[in-house]
Amino acid sequence: MQANIKNTNQKRVVIIGGGFGGLKLARQLSNSAYQVVLIDKNNYHQFQPLFYQVATAGLEPSAISFPFRKVFQKTSNIHIRVAEVLKIYADKKQLETSIGLVAFDYLVIAIGADTNFFGNQNMMKHAMPMKSVGEALALRNTILQNYENALITSDEATRKGLMNMVIVGGGPTGVEVAGTLAEMKKTVLPKDYPELDFNLMQVHLLEGSNRVLSSMSEIASEKAKEYLMKLGVDVALNARVVDYDGQKVTLADGTIIPTNTLVWAAGVIGNKIEGLNPEVIARGNRIMVDEMNQVKGYSSIFALGDIALMTTTTYPNGHPQVAQVAIQQGELLAKNLIGLCKDKAMKAFVYKDLGSMATVGRNKAVVDLPSIKFQGFFAWMVWMFVHLMSIVGIKNRLLIFINWAWNYFTYDQSLRLIIKPKSSKP
Protein backbone atom coordinates (compact mmCIF):
# COMPACT_ATOMS: atom_id res chain seq x y z
CA MET A 1 0.00 0.00 0.00
CA GLN A 2 1.32 3.41 -0.97
CA ALA A 3 1.11 6.26 1.52
CA ASN A 4 -1.24 9.00 0.38
CA ILE A 5 1.27 11.64 -0.69
CA LYS A 6 0.61 13.53 -3.90
CA ASN A 7 3.15 12.86 -6.64
CA THR A 8 4.54 15.93 -8.41
CA ASN A 9 7.24 16.62 -10.96
CA GLN A 10 9.50 17.74 -8.10
CA LYS A 11 12.20 15.51 -6.74
CA ARG A 12 11.24 14.23 -3.29
CA VAL A 13 13.37 14.55 -0.15
CA VAL A 14 12.12 12.36 2.68
CA ILE A 15 13.34 13.30 6.16
CA ILE A 16 12.93 10.77 8.97
CA GLY A 17 12.86 12.61 12.29
CA GLY A 18 11.92 16.15 13.27
CA GLY A 19 14.61 16.79 15.85
CA PHE A 20 17.12 19.63 15.61
CA GLY A 21 18.75 18.38 12.40
CA GLY A 22 15.65 17.19 10.59
CA LEU A 23 13.66 20.32 11.43
CA LYS A 24 16.52 22.61 10.37
CA LEU A 25 16.85 20.78 7.05
CA ALA A 26 13.11 20.92 6.37
CA ARG A 27 12.95 24.64 7.16
CA GLN A 28 15.89 25.37 4.87
CA LEU A 29 14.25 23.38 2.06
CA SER A 30 10.86 25.07 2.45
CA ASN A 31 9.82 26.84 -0.76
CA SER A 32 12.68 25.13 -2.61
CA ALA A 33 12.46 23.09 -5.81
CA TYR A 34 12.02 19.89 -3.80
CA GLN A 35 8.94 18.20 -2.47
CA VAL A 36 9.78 17.51 1.19
CA VAL A 37 8.14 14.82 3.30
CA LEU A 38 8.90 15.00 7.02
CA ILE A 39 8.07 11.79 8.89
CA ASP A 40 8.04 11.64 12.69
CA LYS A 41 6.36 9.48 15.34
CA ASN A 42 5.03 12.69 16.91
CA ASN A 43 3.35 15.70 15.35
CA TYR A 44 5.62 18.10 17.20
CA HIS A 45 9.25 19.11 17.67
CA GLN A 46 10.67 18.53 21.17
CA PHE A 47 13.28 20.83 22.73
CA GLN A 48 15.39 18.20 24.44
CA PRO A 49 17.71 20.47 26.52
CA LEU A 50 14.76 21.47 28.71
CA PHE A 51 13.25 18.03 29.30
CA TYR A 52 14.64 18.16 32.82
CA GLN A 53 12.53 21.24 33.60
CA VAL A 54 9.38 19.36 32.63
CA ALA A 55 10.51 16.47 34.85
CA THR A 56 11.02 18.80 37.82
CA ALA A 57 7.75 20.75 37.38
CA GLY A 58 9.37 23.93 36.09
CA LEU A 59 7.74 23.87 32.64
CA GLU A 60 4.73 22.30 31.02
CA PRO A 61 5.35 19.90 28.09
CA SER A 62 3.57 22.29 25.71
CA ALA A 63 6.14 25.01 26.44
CA ILE A 64 8.99 23.00 24.92
CA SER A 65 7.01 21.32 22.14
CA PHE A 66 5.96 22.91 18.87
CA PRO A 67 3.64 21.40 16.21
CA PHE A 68 5.31 20.75 12.87
CA ARG A 69 2.23 21.90 10.99
CA LYS A 70 2.42 25.26 12.74
CA VAL A 71 6.02 25.66 11.57
CA PHE A 72 5.15 24.94 7.93
CA GLN A 73 1.72 26.57 7.60
CA LYS A 74 2.91 28.95 4.90
CA THR A 75 4.89 26.44 2.81
CA SER A 76 3.31 24.39 0.05
CA ASN A 77 6.14 21.94 -0.61
CA ILE A 78 6.40 20.48 2.91
CA HIS A 79 4.27 17.44 3.76
CA ILE A 80 4.04 16.17 7.36
CA ARG A 81 3.25 12.54 8.11
CA VAL A 82 2.93 11.13 11.63
CA ALA A 83 4.17 7.58 11.22
CA GLU A 84 6.79 5.05 12.23
CA VAL A 85 9.42 4.03 9.68
CA LEU A 86 9.85 0.26 9.64
CA LYS A 87 12.39 -0.42 6.90
CA ILE A 88 14.42 1.16 4.10
CA TYR A 89 14.41 -0.42 0.63
CA ALA A 90 17.41 1.42 -0.79
CA ASP A 91 17.38 -0.38 -4.17
CA LYS A 92 13.75 0.60 -4.74
CA LYS A 93 14.13 4.05 -3.15
CA GLN A 94 11.21 3.32 -0.88
CA LEU A 95 10.42 3.34 2.84
CA GLU A 96 8.09 0.95 4.56
CA THR A 97 6.13 2.92 7.17
CA SER A 98 3.13 2.37 9.42
CA ILE A 99 1.00 4.31 6.89
CA GLY A 100 2.29 2.57 3.77
CA LEU A 101 5.18 2.81 1.33
CA VAL A 102 6.84 6.18 0.77
CA ALA A 103 9.01 6.73 -2.29
CA PHE A 104 12.02 9.06 -2.22
CA ASP A 105 14.64 10.55 -4.48
CA TYR A 106 16.78 11.52 -1.50
CA LEU A 107 16.43 10.12 1.99
CA VAL A 108 17.72 11.83 5.13
CA ILE A 109 17.92 9.79 8.36
CA ALA A 110 17.73 12.06 11.40
CA ILE A 111 16.23 9.67 13.95
CA GLY A 112 18.51 10.68 16.84
CA ALA A 113 19.43 8.56 19.83
CA ASP A 114 17.70 6.89 22.75
CA THR A 115 18.72 5.94 26.28
CA ASN A 116 21.54 3.41 26.52
CA PHE A 117 21.17 1.04 29.49
CA PHE A 118 24.24 -0.95 28.38
CA GLY A 119 22.28 -4.20 28.44
CA ASN A 120 21.29 -3.97 32.12
CA GLN A 121 17.80 -5.48 32.13
CA ASN A 122 16.95 -4.39 35.68
CA MET A 123 17.92 -0.83 34.81
CA MET A 124 15.73 -0.92 31.71
CA LYS A 125 12.82 -2.14 33.83
CA HIS A 126 13.10 0.16 36.85
CA ALA A 127 15.15 3.27 35.98
CA MET A 128 13.56 6.47 34.64
CA PRO A 129 15.00 7.70 31.32
CA MET A 130 14.44 11.20 29.97
CA LYS A 131 14.74 11.20 26.19
CA SER A 132 11.26 12.47 25.32
CA VAL A 133 8.58 14.81 26.62
CA GLY A 134 6.51 11.78 27.59
CA GLU A 135 9.34 10.30 29.65
CA ALA A 136 10.00 13.65 31.33
CA LEU A 137 6.32 13.91 32.26
CA ALA A 138 6.36 10.33 33.58
CA LEU A 139 9.34 11.23 35.77
CA ARG A 140 7.51 14.27 37.13
CA ASN A 141 4.50 12.11 37.97
CA THR A 142 6.72 9.55 39.70
CA ILE A 143 8.58 12.11 41.81
CA LEU A 144 5.41 13.83 43.01
CA GLN A 145 3.53 10.59 43.60
CA ASN A 146 6.44 9.30 45.70
CA TYR A 147 6.03 12.24 48.07
CA GLU A 148 2.31 11.63 48.31
CA ASN A 149 3.10 8.01 49.21
CA ALA A 150 5.74 9.10 51.72
CA LEU A 151 3.02 10.96 53.62
CA ILE A 152 0.95 7.84 54.20
CA THR A 153 3.65 5.33 55.11
CA SER A 154 4.55 4.72 58.75
CA ASP A 155 7.83 2.96 57.99
CA GLU A 156 10.82 5.32 58.06
CA ALA A 157 12.98 3.16 55.75
CA THR A 158 10.20 3.08 53.17
CA ARG A 159 9.74 6.83 53.50
CA LYS A 160 13.46 7.42 53.01
CA GLY A 161 13.43 5.36 49.81
CA LEU A 162 10.47 7.35 48.51
CA MET A 163 12.15 10.68 49.27
CA ASN A 164 15.69 9.91 48.08
CA MET A 165 16.65 10.76 44.49
CA VAL A 166 19.50 9.12 42.57
CA ILE A 167 20.75 10.44 39.24
CA VAL A 168 23.17 8.28 37.26
CA GLY A 169 25.36 10.21 34.82
CA GLY A 170 27.25 13.43 35.43
CA GLY A 171 26.79 15.03 32.03
CA PRO A 172 24.77 18.24 31.52
CA THR A 173 21.41 16.47 31.98
CA GLY A 174 22.46 14.72 35.19
CA VAL A 175 23.98 17.87 36.64
CA GLU A 176 20.93 19.97 35.79
CA VAL A 177 18.47 17.43 37.24
CA ALA A 178 20.51 17.04 40.44
CA GLY A 179 20.82 20.79 40.93
CA THR A 180 17.12 21.40 40.38
CA LEU A 181 16.03 18.60 42.74
CA ALA A 182 18.40 19.92 45.43
CA GLU A 183 16.85 23.37 45.11
CA MET A 184 13.34 21.89 45.27
CA LYS A 185 14.34 20.15 48.51
CA LYS A 186 15.21 23.52 50.03
CA THR A 187 12.56 25.86 48.66
CA VAL A 188 9.57 23.99 47.22
CA LEU A 189 8.92 20.53 48.62
CA PRO A 190 8.94 21.50 52.34
CA LYS A 191 6.12 23.98 51.63
CA ASP A 192 4.08 21.34 49.84
CA TYR A 193 4.78 18.58 52.35
CA PRO A 194 5.30 20.23 55.76
CA GLU A 195 4.56 16.90 57.49
CA LEU A 196 7.69 15.31 56.04
CA ASP A 197 11.19 15.57 57.49
CA PHE A 198 13.37 16.63 54.57
CA ASN A 199 16.52 15.73 56.45
CA LEU A 200 15.65 12.22 55.26
CA MET A 201 15.85 13.27 51.60
CA GLN A 202 19.17 12.97 49.83
CA VAL A 203 20.01 13.78 46.21
CA HIS A 204 22.79 11.53 44.87
CA LEU A 205 24.65 12.14 41.60
CA LEU A 206 26.65 9.09 40.50
CA GLU A 207 29.27 9.52 37.77
CA GLY A 208 31.39 6.65 36.46
CA SER A 209 34.39 8.82 35.48
CA ASN A 210 36.61 11.01 37.62
CA ARG A 211 34.67 14.26 37.06
CA VAL A 212 31.25 15.65 36.19
CA LEU A 213 30.74 17.43 32.85
CA SER A 214 33.66 15.49 31.40
CA SER A 215 33.01 16.94 27.93
CA MET A 216 33.64 20.47 29.23
CA SER A 217 36.75 22.16 30.60
CA GLU A 218 38.25 21.14 33.93
CA ILE A 219 37.42 24.53 35.45
CA ALA A 220 33.75 24.09 34.43
CA SER A 221 33.78 20.58 35.86
CA GLU A 222 35.25 21.66 39.19
CA LYS A 223 32.94 24.65 39.50
CA ALA A 224 29.87 22.53 38.71
CA LYS A 225 30.88 20.03 41.37
CA GLU A 226 31.40 22.86 43.85
CA TYR A 227 27.95 24.29 43.09
CA LEU A 228 26.31 20.88 43.48
CA MET A 229 27.96 20.20 46.81
CA LYS A 230 26.92 23.63 48.13
CA LEU A 231 23.35 22.72 47.19
CA GLY A 232 23.67 19.56 49.25
CA VAL A 233 24.02 17.05 46.41
CA ASP A 234 26.04 13.95 47.26
CA VAL A 235 28.41 13.76 44.26
CA ALA A 236 30.10 10.36 43.86
CA LEU A 237 32.80 10.08 41.19
CA ASN A 238 34.20 6.81 39.80
CA ALA A 239 30.92 5.31 40.99
CA ARG A 240 29.78 2.45 38.76
CA VAL A 241 26.18 1.26 39.13
CA VAL A 242 25.80 -2.50 38.72
CA ASP A 243 22.16 -3.06 39.66
CA TYR A 244 18.86 -1.45 40.60
CA ASP A 245 15.77 -3.38 41.66
CA GLY A 246 13.38 -0.45 41.99
CA GLN A 247 14.12 0.09 45.67
CA LYS A 248 17.88 0.10 46.06
CA VAL A 249 20.88 0.97 43.90
CA THR A 250 23.94 -1.28 44.11
CA LEU A 251 27.38 0.11 43.23
CA ALA A 252 30.43 -1.87 42.15
CA ASP A 253 32.11 -1.28 45.52
CA GLY A 254 29.12 -2.78 47.34
CA THR A 255 27.52 0.52 48.41
CA ILE A 256 23.72 0.34 48.67
CA ILE A 257 21.56 3.47 48.24
CA PRO A 258 17.84 3.17 49.00
CA THR A 259 15.63 4.95 46.45
CA ASN A 260 12.40 4.44 44.57
CA THR A 261 13.49 6.94 41.92
CA LEU A 262 16.58 6.48 39.77
CA VAL A 263 17.03 8.91 36.86
CA TRP A 264 19.21 7.36 34.16
CA ALA A 265 21.26 9.94 32.24
CA ALA A 266 24.37 7.87 31.66
CA GLY A 267 24.50 7.29 27.92
CA VAL A 268 22.78 7.24 24.55
CA ILE A 269 22.54 4.78 21.70
CA GLY A 270 21.36 5.46 18.16
CA ASN A 271 17.80 4.52 17.26
CA LYS A 272 17.66 1.51 14.99
CA ILE A 273 16.37 1.39 11.46
CA GLU A 274 16.32 -1.68 9.22
CA GLY A 275 17.43 -1.96 5.62
CA LEU A 276 20.93 -0.50 5.55
CA ASN A 277 24.05 -2.56 4.99
CA PRO A 278 25.16 -3.76 8.46
CA GLU A 279 28.71 -2.69 7.58
CA VAL A 280 27.74 0.99 7.84
CA ILE A 281 26.39 0.59 11.39
CA ALA A 282 29.13 1.53 13.84
CA ARG A 283 29.48 1.45 17.61
CA GLY A 284 26.48 2.90 19.42
CA ASN A 285 24.24 2.16 16.41
CA ARG A 286 25.55 5.24 14.64
CA ILE A 287 25.48 5.28 10.83
CA MET A 288 28.81 5.88 9.09
CA VAL A 289 28.73 8.89 6.77
CA ASP A 290 31.26 10.79 4.67
CA GLU A 291 32.04 14.49 5.04
CA MET A 292 28.91 15.40 3.06
CA ASN A 293 26.74 13.37 5.49
CA GLN A 294 26.21 10.80 2.76
CA VAL A 295 25.77 7.28 4.13
CA LYS A 296 28.74 5.24 2.96
CA GLY A 297 27.83 3.10 -0.05
CA TYR A 298 24.59 4.98 -0.80
CA SER A 299 24.44 7.90 -3.23
CA SER A 300 20.93 9.05 -2.33
CA ILE A 301 20.81 8.43 1.45
CA PHE A 302 22.13 10.83 4.07
CA ALA A 303 22.24 10.82 7.87
CA LEU A 304 22.77 13.69 10.26
CA GLY A 305 22.80 14.58 13.94
CA ASP A 306 23.20 12.06 16.76
CA ILE A 307 22.68 9.06 14.48
CA ALA A 308 25.50 10.05 12.08
CA LEU A 309 29.12 9.04 12.62
CA MET A 310 31.48 11.25 10.64
CA THR A 311 35.14 10.64 11.42
CA THR A 312 37.55 13.51 10.78
CA THR A 313 41.05 14.43 11.89
CA THR A 314 39.63 16.71 14.57
CA TYR A 315 36.92 14.24 15.58
CA PRO A 316 38.30 10.72 15.03
CA ASN A 317 35.47 9.19 17.08
CA GLY A 318 32.76 11.28 15.48
CA HIS A 319 31.26 14.61 16.43
CA PRO A 320 29.72 15.15 19.85
CA GLN A 321 26.04 14.21 19.98
CA VAL A 322 24.76 17.71 20.68
CA ALA A 323 22.17 19.95 19.07
CA GLN A 324 24.60 22.31 17.36
CA VAL A 325 26.14 19.50 15.31
CA ALA A 326 22.72 18.43 14.04
CA ILE A 327 21.66 22.00 13.28
CA GLN A 328 24.84 22.81 11.36
CA GLN A 329 24.71 19.54 9.43
CA GLY A 330 21.07 20.14 8.53
CA GLU A 331 21.85 23.63 7.30
CA LEU A 332 24.75 22.50 5.10
CA LEU A 333 22.89 19.48 3.74
CA ALA A 334 20.06 21.79 2.64
CA LYS A 335 22.56 23.95 0.75
CA ASN A 336 24.12 20.84 -0.83
CA LEU A 337 20.77 19.43 -1.91
CA ILE A 338 19.74 22.77 -3.41
CA GLY A 339 23.11 22.88 -5.13
CA LEU A 340 22.55 19.44 -6.66
CA CYS A 341 19.62 20.88 -8.60
CA LYS A 342 22.12 23.24 -10.24
CA ASP A 343 24.77 20.52 -10.75
CA LYS A 344 27.01 22.04 -8.08
CA ALA A 345 29.47 19.91 -6.14
CA MET A 346 28.60 19.25 -2.52
CA LYS A 347 30.65 20.92 0.21
CA ALA A 348 32.21 19.04 3.10
CA PHE A 349 30.91 19.59 6.62
CA VAL A 350 33.17 21.39 9.08
CA TYR A 351 31.82 21.69 12.59
CA LYS A 352 32.06 25.12 14.16
CA ASP A 353 32.16 24.58 17.90
CA LEU A 354 30.13 27.40 19.45
CA GLY A 355 30.86 26.20 22.96
CA SER A 356 28.98 24.31 25.63
CA MET A 357 27.15 25.19 28.81
CA ALA A 358 25.22 23.74 31.71
CA THR A 359 23.15 25.20 34.51
CA VAL A 360 23.45 23.87 38.05
CA GLY A 361 20.72 25.88 39.69
CA ARG A 362 19.58 29.36 40.53
CA ASN A 363 22.27 31.92 39.56
CA LYS A 364 24.70 29.05 38.90
CA ALA A 365 25.93 27.90 35.50
CA VAL A 366 29.14 27.12 33.66
CA VAL A 367 29.89 28.25 30.11
CA ASP A 368 32.78 27.19 27.87
CA LEU A 369 33.11 29.34 24.74
CA PRO A 370 35.96 28.92 22.25
CA SER A 371 37.64 32.11 23.44
CA ILE A 372 36.52 32.41 27.07
CA LYS A 373 35.25 30.35 29.98
CA PHE A 374 33.14 31.77 32.79
CA GLN A 375 30.86 30.66 35.59
CA GLY A 376 28.28 32.01 38.02
CA PHE A 377 25.43 34.49 37.60
CA PHE A 378 26.47 35.89 34.20
CA ALA A 379 26.92 32.35 32.86
CA TRP A 380 23.43 31.55 34.14
CA MET A 381 21.99 34.58 32.30
CA VAL A 382 23.79 33.54 29.11
CA TRP A 383 22.49 29.98 29.47
CA MET A 384 18.90 31.25 29.82
CA PHE A 385 19.19 33.63 26.86
CA VAL A 386 20.67 31.01 24.53
CA HIS A 387 18.06 28.40 25.42
CA LEU A 388 15.21 30.89 25.20
CA MET A 389 16.26 32.04 21.74
CA SER A 390 16.64 28.42 20.57
CA ILE A 391 13.00 27.58 21.31
CA VAL A 392 10.69 27.34 18.30
CA GLY A 393 7.82 29.82 18.46
CA ILE A 394 7.38 33.24 20.06
CA LYS A 395 4.49 32.00 22.24
CA ASN A 396 6.64 29.19 23.64
CA ARG A 397 9.45 31.63 24.43
CA LEU A 398 7.01 33.89 26.25
CA LEU A 399 5.58 30.99 28.27
CA ILE A 400 9.03 29.85 29.31
CA PHE A 401 10.15 33.37 30.19
CA ILE A 402 7.06 33.90 32.38
CA ASN A 403 7.63 30.59 34.15
CA TRP A 404 11.30 31.33 34.72
CA ALA A 405 10.53 34.81 36.04
CA TRP A 406 7.84 33.44 38.36
CA ASN A 407 10.18 30.74 39.65
CA TYR A 408 12.96 33.25 40.21
CA PHE A 409 10.97 35.78 42.22
CA THR A 410 8.77 33.34 44.16
CA TYR A 411 11.20 30.45 44.67
CA ASP A 412 8.37 28.23 43.52
CA GLN A 413 7.55 26.03 40.54
CA SER A 414 3.84 26.31 39.89
CA LEU A 415 3.25 23.21 37.77
CA ARG A 416 3.32 20.37 40.27
CA LEU A 417 0.48 18.36 38.78
CA ILE A 418 0.31 14.57 38.78
CA ILE A 419 -1.21 13.86 35.36
CA LYS A 420 -2.21 10.22 35.10
CA PRO A 421 -3.45 8.43 31.98
CA LYS A 422 -7.01 7.17 32.19
CA SER A 423 -7.10 3.56 33.37
CA SER A 424 -8.52 1.14 30.84
CA LYS A 425 -11.75 -0.56 31.85
CA PRO A 426 -11.59 -4.32 32.49
Q: Which of 21, 41, 14, 63 is nearest to 293 (CA)?
A: 21
Task: For residue 59, tell me if it sits in a domain.
Answer: yes
Arithmetic mean of pLDDT over the chain: 92
Q: Which pLDDT band holds residue 6 (cuts at 50, 70, 90)?
A: confident
For residues 147 and 261, membership in a common domain is answered with: yes
Q: What is the CATH number of the domain that holds 286?
A: 3.50.50.60
Task: For residue 95, tell me if it sits in a domain.
Answer: yes
- Convert the pLDDT of each residue in 64-74 to its tens digit: 999 999 999 98
> What integer pLDDT is reported at residue 414 of this predicted model?
64
Task: Give the number of other CB atoms < 10 A from CB of residue 336.
Answer: 19
Q: Which of 282, 300, 269 is nearest to 104 (CA)?
A: 300
Q: Which pLDDT band holds residue 426 (cuts at 50, 70, 90)?
A: very low
For residues 144 and 240, membership in a common domain is answered with: yes
Q: Which of 293, 319, 341 is the last residue of a domain?
A: 341
For residues 30 and 136, membership in a common domain is answered with: no
Task: For residue 304, tell me if it sits in a domain.
Answer: yes
Give the active site residue among 60, 176, 183, 207. 176
Q: Which of 341, 356, 374 is the last residue of a domain?
A: 341
- Convert the pLDDT of each residue in 353-401 to its tens digit: 999 999 998 999 999 999 999 999 999 999 999 999 888 888 888 889 9
**pLDDT cut 70: percent of the chain above it:** 98
For residues 190 and 98, membership in a common domain is answered with: no
For residues 256 and 273, membership in a common domain is answered with: no
Task: For residue 287, tell me if it sits in a domain.
Answer: yes
Q: Which pLDDT band holds residue 419 (cuts at 50, 70, 90)?
A: confident
Q: Which of 363, 78, 337 is nearest to 230 (CA)?
A: 363
Task: For residue 404, tell me if it sits in a domain.
Answer: no
For residues 217 and 322, membership in a common domain is answered with: no
**pLDDT cut 90: percent of the chain above it:** 83
The overall longest dimension of the chain from CA atoms, in Å, is 74
For residues 101 and 212, membership in a common domain is answered with: no
C-alpha span between 308 and 349 (Å, rounded) = 12
C-alpha span between 286 and 325 (Å, rounded) = 14
For residues 85 and 202, membership in a common domain is answered with: no
For residues 150 and 54, membership in a common domain is answered with: no
For residues 316 and 301, membership in a common domain is answered with: yes
Domain span holding position 169 = 121-266
Q: What is the pLDDT averaged over residues 314-335?
A: 95
Residue 36: strand, helix, or coil = strand
Domains in the chain: how many in total? 2
Give the global pTM.
Answer: 0.92
| CA end-to-end span of the chain | 35
Task: For residue 272, tell me if it sits in a domain.
Answer: yes
For residues 136 and 246, membership in a common domain is answered with: yes
Q: What single-letter DSSP state applies at residue 50?
A: G
Task: For residue 413, tell me if it sits in a domain.
Answer: no
Of the CA atoms within 13 Å of residue 278, those in its CB half-sphere come to 0
Q: What is the CATH number of the domain that holds 151?
A: 3.50.50.100
| pLDDT surpasses 50 at 408 | yes
DSSP per position, 253-283: TS-EEE-S-EEE-S-EEEPP-BSS-GGGB-G
Establish whether 176 is a catalytic residue.
Answer: yes
Q: Which of 246, 266, 286 is the last residue of a domain?
A: 266
Q: What is the pLDDT averaged over residues 56-68?
A: 90
Task: For residue 218, tell me if it sits in a domain.
Answer: yes
For residues 102 and 204, membership in a common domain is answered with: no
Q: Strands, DSSP E only, in 104-168?
A: 106-109, 113-115, 165-168
